[in-house]
Each structure stands twice: as C-alpha cells, then as structure tokens.
Amino acid sequence: MECQRRGRWFSPVWLLILGIFALRKTQAAHHKFVGQFTAVGTSTKSVWELNGIIFIDDIELGSYNNTHQQIVVKIPWVSKLMGIDYITQMRNLLVDHEQHLHWMMHYLAKNDTNPNRNHTGQLLADCEIDKDITVKSHIHLIWDGEEYYRIDEEVGHWEHLKPEFKRYHHVLDSPFWTDIRKRYMNKYCVDLMKKIVGYSSLRENVPPEVTVSRHVNPESSIILSCTATGFYPQSILLRWEKNGKLGVWGKETSTGILPNMDNTFYLQVTLQLPSEDPGMGYNCVVEHIELKTPVVYPVPQKPTRKKPWVIALGILLAVILLLSCAGAFITWKKRKSGSTSQLEGSFPSPASPTSPPQ
C-alpha cells in the first residue's frame, strides 16, 4: 500500500520535474516547417490557380503564385542565404509540377456531373526537428475541404480517410511518387529548415507578459489563473507551486499555446482548488528562454477585481443600450399617436341634428 501511495505521488510530480528539465534543453532547439499548396480548377479547365505558402516556426517565409510564376521570399537575409540558384530551382519545380496538378484535378473530378464546377485540392506538408534530429514529418491531402489521405513518414504508408478515395492508393504508393515524396520532404522541408534556423533566428525572442489572478466561482471554490502572452518562441512552461513545492493541488486546465496576430503566442493555465482549500501560498512559475531563469509570480490573496476601464466600458454599454431602448420606445409612441390622429381625421364629424320643419 505504501509503495502504491508513493507511486501515485511520484507519477505526476516527477514527470513534471522531468518535463521542466527537458524544456530547458529543447525550447531553443525545436523548430517546425509547414508548407501549404492550394490548387483550384475544374475537370475541363484543369488548374487555373495555384498558390503556395511556407512557414517556419509560424513565421511566413515565402509564397508562390502560378500567375506570376515567381517565388517571393519575405525575409531578405533568407533569400541571400538560399541563393538565386536554389530559389530558381524551386520555382522551376513548381512550374514543372503544375502539369501533374492538371492531371490530378482531371482525374479526381472526372465523375463530377457538373464539369464546370470548381474543385479545390490542397497539400499540407509539415516537419519538425529537435537539435537537428527529425522528430515528425507528415503530408496531408485534402479535396474540397475534406482530408482524404495522410502519411506519417515514420510509419511510411498512406492512410486513406475516405472510402471513396481508396481506389487511388496505388497511385500514391507508386515508386515515382514515393521517390518524389521522400526526396522533397528531406530537401525542401527538413534540410531547408535546418539550414535557415542554423544560420539565424527568424525574429527576435520576446519574453512573456504574465498576469496572475484569483476568482471565486459560484460553487465557492477558488480558481487561480496564470496568463502569459506576447512571447516568442512558443516553447514555454507554466506551473503551479504551493509554498515553494510542486504538486497536484486541484483540477488544472489549459488553453494550449495559441498564436497572436503579431506572430507571438498566448497561453493560460487555470487551477480550480477544492472547496476546503483557502488558496494561500500559491505561485505561478514561468519558464521561457528569454527569462533566463524561472520567474515566480505570486497569486493575489484577495479576489482579483476587474480593471476600472472594463467596469467603465460595461457601464457605458449599459447606458447606450438603455438610451437606445428609450429612443425606440419614444419613436414608437410618436408614430402610434400620429397614426391615431390621422385615423380620426379621415372620418367626417357627426352632423348636427337639424331642427324640425316649422
């Protein structure tokens, strides 16, 4: 029994500690490449628009459009690093492979009853490296908004997600497309990413802005929130400590790491304490590469009040709503009064009684 109790305590706490050390070693070495190519066309006109866009660590690196048949690199030093010959080679490959897209669009849409209906085919490719070691590599094929095939390069075989597309399995598994897939994923996904991130960071690192709050829910239990936003790169760790000790103190939830509009990231973790826990002595500990060392953010001892501008905004909205309702009511009353007056004026006044003839 004692061993079981120790085992239950060991699992969450020590796994968290191991995760912390792993984060410190890998947060600066983990990178992700994403390429998205979209073709629009019909079974008769084939491809009339092809767009491509690639990202590294959620930063847009470059784009391609078949109208101009040019690759546009968004970051100048990346263009110099790749070299004009390399970019020209990539551009020529995209131009050459457009005929394969024509064939694909015609083949997939050949049974369409409306030959002029537009169809959209997409290819999503992603790969991730950790300290120059490839840890993930996938390709997703999407037709008219639905994923119908995907492959994990570690597994090495295509998985069909729609029964009606099973008949195309032999095409994807053919030696020609298998060789192209492997070479391109290595050269234009993994190797290209290694070359770029090995030369320089795509953007300046930014430390997180952290806020910690304390609220009481309707069930009278305490909810602690720790929010980090505006940070880059995306690797970050938020954890709860009580009196300087790690542990599992209640029900934890997380938003997951989400992107902001400025290519930074956002994360919020909450901790709902048991009703008998008064919530004293808690801290949110944040680790990020730009913080150098873990930073401790104490939880307020009193429930966090809403910011004055939030309260003022709420009052202002309430006043505007009240005035709008009052104005609408007054307008309605005026219209009703006017309609009644017009209605009364439309009938003649009753005639005065005439005197009897003399």
Cβ proximity of 132 and 117 under 8 Å: no
User: pLDDT at position 155, please?
Assistant: 87
pLDDT at position 12 over 50: no
User: pLDDT at position 104, please?
Assistant: 79
User: pLDDT at position 139, please?
Assistant: 96
How does 311-349 read in b/e, with b if 16+ C-beta sit within 10 Å? Answer: eeeeeeeeeeeeeeeeeeeeeeeeeeeeeeeeeeeeeee
pLDDT at position 6 over 80: no
User: pLDDT at position 167, please?
Assistant: 83
pLDDT at position 266 over 50: yes
Q: Which residue has the higher pLDDT, 202 or 305?
A: 202
Q: How far is 356 from 358, CA to CA, in rounded Å?
A: 6
Confidence of residue 355 (pLDDT cuts 50, 70, 90): very low
Least confident of 53-62, 270-279, 310-319, 340-349: 340-349
Confidence of residue 313 (pLDDT cuts 50, 70, 90): low
Q: Which residue has the higher pLDDT, 57 or 211?
A: 211
| pLDDT above 70 coverage of the chain, percent | 77
Question: How buried is residue 95: exposed, middle or buried, by Cβ count under 10 Å (0-12/13-18/19+)?
Answer: middle
Spell out the domains of the chain, with CATH numbers in brackets.
31-199 (3.30.500.10), 204-298 (2.60.40.10)
User: pLDDT at position 298, please?
Assistant: 96
Q: How far is 252 from 325, CA to CA, in rounded Å?
A: 43
Q: Could you tell me the sign of the dihedral formed by the alpha carbons of 197, 198, 202, 204, in that order? A: positive
Confidence of residue 77 (pLDDT cuts 50, 70, 90): very high
pLDDT at position 9 over 50: no
Q: How far is 315 from 333, CA to CA, in rounded Å?
A: 27
Q: Which residue has the higher pLDDT, 134 or 99?
A: 134
The end-to-end CA distance of the chain, in Å, is 125
